[in-house]
């Protein structure tokens, strides 16, 4: 799979692939050796044509009347998403959300491991939360460079988010997962992914409202 082919995958496909991966892992655990696009589509309530196109972009090749060999398709999706090798990440901002993410065990299944957490609050620095000792954010740039950290998770308050992003960039971090509502400015070589929880809640609330309207 070339870098160009990987870049051509649209956002909807990238969001569906983890759903396929979760289902395929479950099927593998139950002893299934093969999975067809039609079966995956039926289980997830998706269009079979869409599923076949999504799986084809990973480079996996199915077998006639059998489908995809389970181990091969799982490996293909993991490799396509870059989840085949765990990437170490730093988290900054150990409030309620940051603490919750530190305790989430599922990240490693998706190719990421939080190896250190940082904060500027003297009351938090030095505490151990979910097995991680909270470090002073001043140490982040040098430590990120020494450990070759590529991913930073930003869960601080919006008012300090840009300053933290600057510190991450200074440390050589090239991918920032922004959980704050702040709109960040970063160099072109840095990839920025924003998780807007308020927007997601708005979509959910609107759909519930539409569903509950009188018919």
Judgement on whether residues 135 and 98 belong to the same structural domain of the protein: yes
Judgement on whether residues 96 and 195 belong to the same structural domain of the protein: yes
Judgement on whether residues 110 and 66 belong to the same structural domain of the protein: no
Judgement on whether residues 103 and 71 belong to the same structural domain of the protein: no
- For every residue of the chain, DSSP letters joined together read --HHHHHT--HHHHHHHHHHHHHHHHHHHTT--EE-HHHHHHHHT--HHHHHHHHHTTT---BTTTBEEHHHHHHHHHHHHT-SSPEEEEEE--SHHHHHHHT-GGGGGGTEEEEEEEES-TTTTT-EETTEEEEEGGGHHHHHHHHT--EEEE-S-HHHHHHHHHHHHHTT--EEEE-SS------TTSEEEE--HHHHHHHHHHHHHHHTS--
Which tens digit of pLDDT belongs to each residue from 124-172?
999 999 999 999 999 999 999 999 898 999 999 999 999 999 999 999 9
Which tens digit of pLDDT belongs to each residue from 99-110?
999 999 888 877
Domain for residue 115, yes or no?
A: yes
Residue 96 maps to which CATH number? 3.40.50.720
Judgement on whether residues 98 and 168 belong to the same structural domain of the protein: yes
Range of the domain at 10: 3-81
- The pLDDT, as a whole number, for residue 3 is 47
- The pLDDT, as a whole number, for residue 112 is 86
Domain for residue 215, yes or no?
A: no
Judgement on whether residues 188 and 116 belong to the same structural domain of the protein: yes
* Number of independent structural domains in the chain: 2
- The pLDDT, as a whole number, for residue 41 is 93
Judgement on whether residues 145 and 100 belong to the same structural domain of the protein: yes
Residue 62 maps to which CATH number? 1.10.10.10
Domain for residue 95, yes or no?
A: yes
Domain for residue 96, yes or no?
A: yes
Domain for residue 208, yes or no?
A: no
Domain for residue 62, yes or no?
A: yes
Judgement on whether residues 193 and 97 belong to the same structural domain of the protein: yes
Question: Across all residues in the chain, what is the average pLDDT?
Answer: 87
- The pLDDT, as a whole number, for residue 4 is 42
Judgement on whether residues 77 and 129 belong to the same structural domain of the protein: no
pTM over 0.75: no
Which of 35, 51, 81 is the last residue before a domain boundary? 81
- Tell me which residues of the chain have a pLDDT lower than 50: 1-7
């Amino acid at each position: 799979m070339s870098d160009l082919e990987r870049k051509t995958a649209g956002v909807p496909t990238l969001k569906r692939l983890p759903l396929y991966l979760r289902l395929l892992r479950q099927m593998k655990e139950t002893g299934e050796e093969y999975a067809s696009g039609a079966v995956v589509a039926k289980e997830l309530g998706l269009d079979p044509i869409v599923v076949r196109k999504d799986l084809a972009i990973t480079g996996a090749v199915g077998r006639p009347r059998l489908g995809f060999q389970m181990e091969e398709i799982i490996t293909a999706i993991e490799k396509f998403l870059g989840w085949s090798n765990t990437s170490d990440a730093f988290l900054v901002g150990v409030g309620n959300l940051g603490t919750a993410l530190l305790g989430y065990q599922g990240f490693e299944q998706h190719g990421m491991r939080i190896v250190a957490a940082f904060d500027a609050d003297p009351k938090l620095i030095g505490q151990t939360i979910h097995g991680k000792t909270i470090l002073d954010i001043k140490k982040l740039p040098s430590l990120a460079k020494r450990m070759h950290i590529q991913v930073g998770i930003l869960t601080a308050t919006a008012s300090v988010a840009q300053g933290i992003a600057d510190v991450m960039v200074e440390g050589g971090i090239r991918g920032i997962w922004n959980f704050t509502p702040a709109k960040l400015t970063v160099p072109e070589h840095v990839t920025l992914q924003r998780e807007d929880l308020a927007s997601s809640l708005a979509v959910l609330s609107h759909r519930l409202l539409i569903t509950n309207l009188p018919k």
